[in-house]
Structure 1
Amino acid sequence: MATEADPIEVPNSPDGWWIDLPPTDYQQAMDLQLAVVAAKTGGRLDADVILCLEHPRVFTLGRRGGRENLCVSDDFLARKGIRVMPTDRGGNITYHGPGQLVVYPIIHLSRRRLKVVEFVSALEQAMIRTAGHWNIAAGTDPLNRGVWLNGDKLGSIGITVRRGVSFHGLALNVNTEMAPFGWINPCGLQKVRMTSIAQHLETPVPMEEARRVMAGHLADCLGLTLTTMDAVALCEKIGHRIGAMPNIL
């Protein structure tokens, strides 16, 4: 396992927008991503867009499925108030919840002449550098994507590319509750433990700081100059119904 990743060399690109969202329902975030993708592929939006948020507790399935890696019953999940959502991202089952930093970079890869493998490596590097802000020496695993720490998984990646535009993205465990990961085989991997920055430090870290640090490193890794954009302004610009995003009002 590597403890340090090489910088990703990417061509210069137009400025991008960084959108900080409050805790956002998974389907609402998915609908917003699709609206941004449609605006970009339809030629109505040139800027790249990066959404940053936390989700309420939810299990999501990837294109490879994942219900076979769910280790608890539907009744158990109902009692815990956790939904299971199918998605079109790559990968298998994973968990999202409060304290997990979720970042959805909606990037026109083909216009930037950026290969998918290079893009995924850039997302891994951004997570590694963010963990390094707290002196945590995370790294990659040549056999499994994501970011790892002493054999435990710290961050996950699952993306989709539609007409050259990426969406979905990364999930870095900052202050994440670990128990729900024990109810699945994370990312379809058996006998894999998940960890978090807070678990390693034995103390929580401010999510606002984690967002700020991630924004800087992701901009560097992707060669973007990011400008903060108000979520309401983004929705108005792309014609996404504001009422579909009640939490941002």
Structure 2
Amino acid sequence: MKPLVVRRAGLVPYDAGLALQAELVAARKAGTIPDTLVLLEHPPVITLGVKVRQSREHVLASDEQLGALGVALFEAGRGGDVTYHGPGQLVGYPILDLKPDRMDAHKYVRDLEEVLIRVCAGYGIEAGRKPGLTGVWVGEEKVAAIGVRLSRWVTSHGFALNVTTNLGHFGLIVPCGIADRGVTSLERILGTAPAMADVEAAVVGHLCAVFGLDVA
């Protein structure tokens, strides 16, 4: 098994998270670090994926409204549409070298979904996929968003799992450009807030199982 380093970074501003990923991707390409998983939370921020970075049509709030709520806006440099990050949402940035035997971008996204489906199952939640859509769903509501970037088969960006997220902030956007489906969280489904540390541990365990990794 390949080793995996897990970095729990706590609450990190989005721009600092981007800088950290760039640093880790460069180091992973150079072979100076092993595969790494960064787990963190972001202050409230709306991010635009490459699909919509020239357009704000899926951002429903004005700059003034976002400023009043303390919500930042960033172009993310990842795949996908618009999404929201905020406290209570577990964000995972896997910095993995998919060479030589996992060089399939579509399968990589499906594998990330599988990790989060298993995390939900551990809480007795039946989560799954929607044909033609990315992410993890419980019924018609998305509990986890996925948007990734690959550079020379080294991954960055990743997933955002709603644990105790302020779901009201999703009303500021059309999440992932999908207007006819909702957003949910583990807390809302369970009726109680699971401990973030427990959710992190479950993510690490299932990521290792799915990707054949072992925590270093």
Aligned-residue offset at 1:104: 0.5
Q: Deviations over 1:44-66 (max 9, x none)?
A: 33x10110011111000000115
2:146 counterpart (138, 149, 157): 157
Gaps of 5+ in 2: none
| 8 A Cα contact 2:103 2:153, kept in partner | no
| 8 A Cα contact 2:129 2:135, kept in partner | yes
Question: What is the TM-score normalised by the length of structure 2?
Answer: 0.96
Q: Deviations over 1:59-103 (max 9, x none)?
A: 000001152101111100000011100011000110000110110
1:55 counterpart (27, 42, 48): 42
Quote the Cα distance in structure 2 between the aligned partners of 1:85 and 1:113: 30
Percent of paired sites with the same residue: 37
Quote the Cα distance in structure 1 between the aligned partners of 2:181 and 2:45: 19
Q: Deviations over 1:122-172 (max 9, x none)?
A: 110111111111100000111201000011111110000011101000001
1:136 counterpart (125, 136, 143): 125
Find the counterpart in structure 1 of residue 17 from structure 2. 29
Output the amino acid matched with 1:134.
Y
Output the amino acid matched with 2:23.
A
Quote the Cα distance in structure 1 between the aligned partners of 2:139 and 2:124: 14
Question: Counting strand residues as a fraction of each chain, which structure ranks higher?
Answer: 2
Quote the Cα distance in structure 1 between the aligned partners of 2:38 and 2:85: 15
Find the counterpart in structure 1 of residue 135 from structure 2. 146
Quote the Cα distance in structure 2 between the aligned partners of 1:120 and 1:153: 15
4+ residue runs over 4 A deviation = none
Find the counterpart in structure 2 of residue 20 from structure 1. 8
Output the amino acid matched with 1:38.
A
2:80 counterpart (75, 91, 105): 91
| 8 A Cα contact 2:2 2:212, kept in partner | no
Quote the Cα distance in structure 2 between the aligned partners of 1:141 and 1:113: 23
| 8 A Cα contact 2:102 2:108, kept in partner | no
Quote the Cα distance in structure 2 between the aligned partners of 1:16 and 1:35: 17
Query: What is the count of residue pairs matched by the alignment?
Result: 214
Aligned-residue offset at 1:182: 1.1
Find the counterpart in structure 2 of residue 181 from structure 1. 170
Q: CA RMSD in A?
A: 1.1
For residue 69 of structure 1, give the secondary structure of its aligned residue in structure 2.
coil
Quote the Cα distance in structure 1 between the aligned partners of 2:127 and 2:156: 24
Compared CA separation, residues 19 and 112, structure 1 to 2 (3 A)? farther
Quote the Cα distance in structure 1 between the aligned partners of 2:131 and 2:86: 27
For residue 15 of structure 1, give the secondary structure of its aligned residue in structure 2.
strand
Quote the Cα distance in structure 2 between the aligned partners of 1:144 and 1:164: 23
Find the counterpart in structure 2 of residue 200 from structure 1. 189
Question: What is the TM-score normalised by the length of structure 1?
Answer: 0.83
| 8 A Cα contact 1:185 1:192, kept in partner | no
**1:121-132 matches, cutoff 5 A:** 121-132=110-121
Quote the Cα distance in structure 1 between the aligned partners of 2:5 and 2:32: 15
Q: Deviations over 1:181-237 (max 9, x none)?
A: 11110001112210011001111111111111111011111111112xxxxxxxxxx
Quote the Cα distance in structure 1 between the aligned partners of 2:58 and 2:29: 34
Quote the Cα distance in structure 2 between the aligned partners of 1:148 and 1:190: 15
